Amino acid sequence: MTTVTYSVPNISCGHCVHTIQMEVGDLAGVESVKASNETKQVEINFDEPATEDKIKSLLAEINYPVAG
């Protein structure tokens, strides 16, 4: 199991948090997703076949790109 935490500046409300958790949570291999509009961070636990590249691509696709 791999755990990553990303800074996502576009998170501004509960709807953003819900969207991220639903979309990323649907990715094959993703075990859990915790997003926060207070810290603007997303913590994701995943295994294969999910990868950091796939997760970052999906976040960018849904307009929540990872900072930096």
Percent over 70 (pLDDT), the chain: 100
Q: Going by C-beta distance under 8 Å and a sequence separation of 6 or more, which residues neighbour residue 45?
A: 1, 2, 3, 30, 31, 32, 33
Average pLDDT over residues 31-58: 98
Going along the chain from its start, the domains and CATH numbers come out as 2-61 (3.30.70.100)
User: Rounded CA gap, 44 and 60, in Å?
Assistant: 15
Q: Which helix (H) or strand (E) holds 11?
A: none
Average pLDDT over residues 2-21: 97
pTM of the model: 0.94
Instruction: Evaluate if residue 35 carries a pLDDT over 90.
Output: yes
Instruction: Evaluate if residue 68 carries a pLDDT over 90.
Output: no
